[in-house]
């Protein structure tokens, strides 16, 4: 490690520095407080080893400055027999250990070796967490396929801004989870995340749900109520199924997105909000624009940063890691397994309901499996025999040479039929010599049509 050694006694400094360097450490040296602080600020040591009593303000000042710059950096103090109270005070200030003079250099070398092992373990754990994060992406979003890694990279990049995000994907692909990931990775993570499904409410209620309403705005509006725009202030507003939003509400949403202000239903006061907007659609919004069912100006307002979520059938390699993740989520700590043959069937199944369908299948299989054991293919896959036929793993695979021979024989017979049994013409059609054709007919017992009639082949029995 890179060690800052701060010690004013020359003999101790030189012998301890040599011992540390012999052990493989890089040593930054200082013999007074000011020099030690300069080395601390410029050399970025991984550990500080300091005497409590030094010229200048002393080791306690160095300790405080080290903790101020990097609270995780370990500091070990060296103290004389008569200054044990200083060591206790240093431990209270944040030192990880103290060594009492006189000491053996080997003892300090061993202590630094322990710290190096702890550092290496922390680095290894950090790398493992990062690898797991790459596989699992974000909370509840799992995938190590290139398609999902591209999604994760885009989410992490766009989350740092306030740009509007359009998430596109089939039902069940996890659009709301990606929207939450955008929020959780953003500077707004401490603010609210407010979601609204535009397909769940009729037009008259959707407007009030979005912008709120004043008392008496409509029947049963007995008091004023905030809408999702206000509730999301300072955070993120997620509008799912925006393609199902009526045109009349789209007009008011456009103004809200442009100006970040609005009026409640039945009100005249303009309210302003600070929100980040994420929207999702299960269809091609451009097609909706062409059909006149989605406003073009609103399309360009929400189509700032598109994120495409691939369907599960296009990333079948993610099925095993997704299945394991869902087993851990719903298994209640019980040890369930999916046999290899069953997992192969899961990877081949097209999952029209995407991740939502896989999650339902895992929950169903766990419920039927009892306390532990294997998850049954009958419980994981639909009972429809058409699907079973589509995903069954062959129990026997014929040798490739046999399959190729059958196709070759059929193709030669077809060529002979086309030429009325004339071998030279058939050989020309097949792109082979007459001799090769004769050998293949002989080896595979192929008879030319009308071969028994004189003149049918135009040739003798052998390709002389």
Q: Which residues of the chain register pLDDT less than 70? A: 81-84, 125-140, 372, 383-398, 450-464
Crossing angle for the helix pair 33-43 and 59-69, to the nearest 10 degrees:
20
Same topology, domains 146-308 and 398-464? Answer is: no
Q: How many CA atoms lie within 13 A of 147 on its CB side?
A: 14
281: tokens are 């659609």
384: Cβ contacts below 8 Å, ≥ 6 apart: none
DSSP state of 24: T
Using one digit for the tens of pLDDT, what is the confidence trace for 19-70? 999 999 999 988 888 888 888 888 889 999 998 888 888 888 888 888 888 8
Return the CATH fold of 398-464: Arc Repressor Mutant, subunit A (1.10.10)
| Segments making up each domain of the chain, as ranges | 2-119, 146-308, 312-391, 398-464
In this predicted structure, what is the pLDDT of residue 132? 52
pTM across the whole model: 0.56
Q: How many CA atoms lie within 13 A of 37 on its CB side?
A: 16
The CATH architecture assigned to 146-308 reads: 3-Layer(aba) Sandwich (3.40)
Using one digit for the tens of pLDDT, what is the confidence trace for 131-190? 555 544 566 688 888 888 889 889 989 999 999 999 999 999 999 999 999 999 999 999
The CATH architecture assigned to 2-119 reads: 3-Layer(aba) Sandwich (3.40)
In this predicted structure, what is the pLDDT of residue 312? 93
Return the CATH fold of 312-391: Helicase, Ruva Protein; domain 3 (1.10.8)
Helices (runs of H) and strands (runs of E) counted in the chain: 20, 14
């Amino acid at each position: 490690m890179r060690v800052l050694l701060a010690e004013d006694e020359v003999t101790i400094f030189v012998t301890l520095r040599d011992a540390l360097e012999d052990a493989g450490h890089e040593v930054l040296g200082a013999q007074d407080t000011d020099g030690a602080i300069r080395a601390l600020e410029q050399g970025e040591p991984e550990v500080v080893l300091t005497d409590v009593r030094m010229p200048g303000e002393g080791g306690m000042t160095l300790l405080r400055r080290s903790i101020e710059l990097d609270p995780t950096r370990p500091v070990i103090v060296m103290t004389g027999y008569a200054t044990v109270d200083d060591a206790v005070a240093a431990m209270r200030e944040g030192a990880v250990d103290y060594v009492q003079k006189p000491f053996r250099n080997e003892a300090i070398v061993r202590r630094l070796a322990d710290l190096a092992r702890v550092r290496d373990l922390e680095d290894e754990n950090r790398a493992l967490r990062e690898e797991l994060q790459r596989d699992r992406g974000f909370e509840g979003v799992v995938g190590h396929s290139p398609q999902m890694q591209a999604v994760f990279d885009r989410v992490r990049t766009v989350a740092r801004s306030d740009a509007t995000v359009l998430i596109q994907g089939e039902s069940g692909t996890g659009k709301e989870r990606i929207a939450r990931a955008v929020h959780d990775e953003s500077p707004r993570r401490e603010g609210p995340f407010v979601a609204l499904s535009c397909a769940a409410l009729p037009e008259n209620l959707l407007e009030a749900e979005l912008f709120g309403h004043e008392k008496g705005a409509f029947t049963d509006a007995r008091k004023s109520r905030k809408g999702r725009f206000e509730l999301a202030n300072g955070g993120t507003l997620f509008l799912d199924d925006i393609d199902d939003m009526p045109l009349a509400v789209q007009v008011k949403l456009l103004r809200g997105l442009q100006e970040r202000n609005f009026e409640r239903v039945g009100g005249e006061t303009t309210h302003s909000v600070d929100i980040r907007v994420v929207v999702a659609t299960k269809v091609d919004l451009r097609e909706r624009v062409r059909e006149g069912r989605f406003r073009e100006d609103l399309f360009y307002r929400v189509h700032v940063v598109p994120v495409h979520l691939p369907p599960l059938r296009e990333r079948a390699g993610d099925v095993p890691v997704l299945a394991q993740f869902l087993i851990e989520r719903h298994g209640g700590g019980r040890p369930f397994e999916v046999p290899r043959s069953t997992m192969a069937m899961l990877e081949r199944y097209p999952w029209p309901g995407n991740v939502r369908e896989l999650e339902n299948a895992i929950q169903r299989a766990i419920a039927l499996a009892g306390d532990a054991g294997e998850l049954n293919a009958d419980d994981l896959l639909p009972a429809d025999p058409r699907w079973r036929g589509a995903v069954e793993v062959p129990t026997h695979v014929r040798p490739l040479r046999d399959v190729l021979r059958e196709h070759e024989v059929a193709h030669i017979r077809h060529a002979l039929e086309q030429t009325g049994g004339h071998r030279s013409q058939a050989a020309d059609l097949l792109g082979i010599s007459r001799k090769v054709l004769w050998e293949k007919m002989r080896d595979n017992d192929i008879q030319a049509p009308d071969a028994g009639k004189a003149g049918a082949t135009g040739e003798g029995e052998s390709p002389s």
